[in-house]
Amino acid sequence: MLPSLYAEYEPRPHVIGILGGGQLAKMLSQEVFKIGMRTAIIEHGEDSPAGMMTSLSWGDGWNDREALDAFIEASDIITLENEFIAPEILQYIAEKRPVFPLSETIALVQDKFTQKETMQNAGIAITPFGACQEIEDVHAFGEKYGYPFVMKTRTLGYDGYGNATIRSASDIEHAWNAFRDPEAPREIMCEAFVHFTKELAVMVARNRRGEIAVYPCVETIQENHICRYVLAPARVDEEIATKAKEMAKRCIEAISGIGVFGIEMFLTKDGEVLFNEIAPRPHNSGHYTIEACYTSQFENGIRAILNLPLGSPEMKVPAAVMVNLLGTRSGPGMPDSPVDTLKHPHTIVHLYGKKECRKGRKMGHLTTCGPSLEEAAKEAYSAASSWIW
Ligand SMILES: Nc1ncnc2c1ncn2[C@@H]1O[C@H](COP(=O)(O)OP(=O)(O)O)[C@@H](O)[C@H]1O
Ligand SMILES: [Mg+2]
C-alpha cells in the first residue's frame, strides 16, 4: 500500500509541497526550513501566511490545473494543511508525487459520517449518529435519540461552521434549509448530544514505518464552537488521560494514518471517553507543543512524512496554556499594538500574518509555559486580554 520511493531515510527530498497556505502551513514551513529544506505552497489567493515564505508559491489554488501542475513539478513530496481537497485532485497529485497522509486516509476522514463509521467499525466509542437524506430522517433521529441533538454538514465543516444544535422539532426546518442551500446543498448527519464535562484532544504523529508519537492529553475549551483555550496537560486523572491517548492511537491505526493528526474527544461525567473527530493535519489543540514539548506537532508531522525517526512528544515544562487570538473587527491583519502582550515574560506570541482581520477569525495565538496550569493560565489570560486587534 505504501509507496517505496522514500521507504528508507535516503534519498532526502528537498522541497516539501503543502496544499494550503494558512497558519498550519506556515508553522509546518518553519520546521521544514529548520531542517534545511524548503517549501512549495499552493493556496487560493496570493500572499498567504505560508505563501509569503517561499518563492515557490502559487496563488491560483489547486483547482487551477496549470498552477497545480507547476506546484507538483516543484515539489518532491506533498502534504496538506487542509483536508477539504476533492478526492480526484488528491488522486491526480498522488499519481505524480508521494502524498502523505495517503489519499485513502483523507477520503475516509473528509466526510464526517464516513469518518465516524470507520471509527465505530474499529470499535471506538462514539455517540449515536446517523446520515440524513431527507428532512424526515432528521425528525426520526430526534424522536429516537431525543433533544437536543447536533445536526452537522458531512463535509467542509470547521470551527463550528456547519453545526447546528437542534433543541426541538421546530428548529429542524430552519437548520435543514440553511445547510441545504440549493446553490451548494450539503449532505447532512445528526449526532446525539453529548453532555460532556470536558473536551479532550490528543495529537499523534506516525511515520511510514509505523513508529508512533502520542502527545499528552490536553483539554480544549470552545466558545461558540470555536477553540479558544488549550490547557496542557488536561486536568483529568491519569487513567482518563491514558484512555484518551490509547483511543487516539487506535484512531490513527484505523485509517492507516501517516503524518500528524489531531483527535478530538468528549469526556462524560461517568468517565467515558467518546470520539468526536479527527483532523489529518496539525491541529489547533497542538499549537502548545511548539514551546512546551521536546518536538512540536509540526516538526513530527514533517519527520513522519519523510519517514525520519520521530522526536519525543513529551512536555518539557510542567504546564502550558494556549489562547487563540481571534479577530474582533474587520480591518488589516496586523494588530494595533502587541506591546502590552509582549510584556509577559513566559508567553510567546505567534501572529499568522493574514492580510485581513475579521471578527472571530484566528489571527494568531499565544502560549504561556509555567510551573502549574494555574500560574500559566493567569499569565496567559492577562497577555490575551491585553491584546488589541
Ligand atoms: N454531539 C455533540 N454533542 C455536544 N457538543 C458537540 C457535539 N458535536 C460537536 N459539539 C460541539 O461543537 C464543537 C465543534 O464541533 P465539531 O464536530 O468538532 O466541528 P468542527 O469541525 O467545527 O470542529 C465541538 O468541539 C463541541 O464543543
Ligand atoms: Mg472539531
Mean pLDDT by 10 residues, the chain (389 residues): 45 87 98 96 97 98 98 97 92 96 95 97 98 96 97 88 93 93 87 97 96 98 92 98 98 97 98 97 98 98 95 98 94 84 96 93 96 98 88
pTM (2 decimals)?
A: 0.95
- Best residue for ligand 1 mutational test, from 127, 272, 276, 285 (most atoms within 8 Å of Cβ): 276
Residues of the chain with CATH 3.40.50.20: 15-99
Q: What is the pLDDT of residues 105-149, one digit of tens each?
A: 999 999 999 999 999 999 999 999 999 999 999 999 999 999 999
276 C-beta closer than 6 A to ligand 1 = yes
* DSSP letter string, 124-179: --B--EEEESSHHHHHHHHHHH-SSEEEEESSS-BTTBTEEEE-SGGGHHHHHHHH
What's residue 214's pLDDT?
98
List, edge to edge, every strand of the sheet that includes 188-192: 129-132, 188-192, 149-153, 163-166
CB 322 within 8 A of CB 302: no
In short, whether 194's Cβ falls inside 6 Å of ligand 1 is yes
- Provide the pLDDT for residue 3: 45
Residue ID of nearest Cα to ligand 1 atom 19: 160
In the reported structure, the alpha carbon of residue 75 is separated from the centroid of ligand 2 by a whole-number distance in angstroms of 30
Q: Is the shortest distance between the CB of 229 and ligand 1 below 6 Å?
A: no
C-alpha cell at position 22: 494558512
> How many Å lie between the centroid of ligand 1 and the Cα of residue 345?
34
- Residue 54 contacts residue 65 (beta carbons within 8 Å): no
* Residue nearest (by alpha carbon) to ligand 1 atom 16: 160
User: CA–CA separation, 281 vs 153, rounded Å?
Assistant: 20
**Topology classification of domain 198-385:** D-amino Acid Aminotransferase; Chain A, domain 1 (3.30.470)
Tell me, using a 6 A CB cutoff, whether residue 145 lines ligand 1.
no
Ligand 1 site, residue 31, Cβ cutoff 6 A: no
163 alpha carbon – ligand 2 mean position (Å): 10
pLDDT digits (tens, 9 = 90+) for 55-85: 999 999 999 999 999 999 999 999 999 998 9
Centroid of ligand 2 to alpha carbon of 277 (angstroms): 6
b vs e for 17-28, b when ≥16 Cβ sit within 10 Å of the residue's Cβ? bbbbbbbbbbbb
Other CB atoms within 10 A of residue 357 CB: 18
Angle at 193 between CA 188 and CA 197, to 5 degrees: 140
Ligand nearest to the CA of 126: 1
Question: Which part of the chain is CATH 3.30.1490.20?
Answer: 128-192
199 close to ligand 1 (CB < 6 Angstrom): yes
* Architecture in CATH for domain 128-192: 2-Layer Sandwich (3.30)
Q: Which atom in ligand 1 lies closest to the alpha carbon of residue 194?
A: 3
Nearest CA to ligand 1 atom 26: 225
Pocket lining: 126 vs ligand 1, CB cutoff 6 Å: no
What is the pLDDT, as a whole number, of residue 5?
43
Would you state the pLDDT for residue 133?
Answer: 94
Q: Which atom of ligand 1 is nearest to 152's Cα?
A: 17
Whether a cis peptide bond, with omega within 30° of 0, leads into 3 is no
The CATH code of domain 15-99 reads 3.40.50.20
* pLDDT value, residue 387: 83
Instruction: Ligand 1 pocket test: pick from 163, 188, 220 the residue with the most ligand atoms within 8 Å of its Cβ.
Output: 163
> What is the whole-number distance in angstroms between the Cα of residue 252 and the centre of ligand 2?
16
CATH 3.30.470.20 boundaries in the chain:
198-385
- pLDDT score at 6: 46
In the chain, the N- to C-terminal Cα span, in Å, equals 48
